[in-house]
Amino acid sequence: MQYTTKRDGSGVEATISGRLTFTDAPHFPQFLDQAMKDASTCAIDLGDLQAIDSTGMSLFIHVYDLARNNGATVVLRNVHGQVRDSLRRASFDELFSFE
């Protein structure tokens, strides 16, 4: 997993690319800190995310939990292919807006 974050006030634009799998668990808290801390809106572009496994999805639940606790809005952008299929099958569209 590679990621970028760009902050403009309390708005954050982030990207996650590569593969989000069990091997990324040790690094995911850093992403959460950079993308979600004090954010009121966060748009996460998954256009270059090629694959996600069940651990990757469970890590993503922390994005939802943090947003809910902080009253923030999260939008997932450009979700496609296997990642879109996996997230839809896991009912992520009940947690996040997809654009």
Query: Using the rule CB under 8 A, is 61 a contact of another protein?
Result: yes
What is the rounded (10 degree) CA torsion for 76, 82, 87, 88?
A: 100
Q: Count CB-CB contacts under 10 A for residue 41.
A: 15
Choosing from 25, 40, 80, 88, the residue that interacts with another protein (CB under 8 A) is 25
Query: 8 or 91, CB closer to another protein?
Result: 91
Distance CA 61, CA 50 (A): 19
| By the rule CB under 8 A, 89 interacts with another protein | yes
Residues that bind another protein (CB under 8 A): 19, 21-23, 25-29, 32, 51, 53-55, 57-59, 61-62, 65-66, 82, 89-92, 94-95
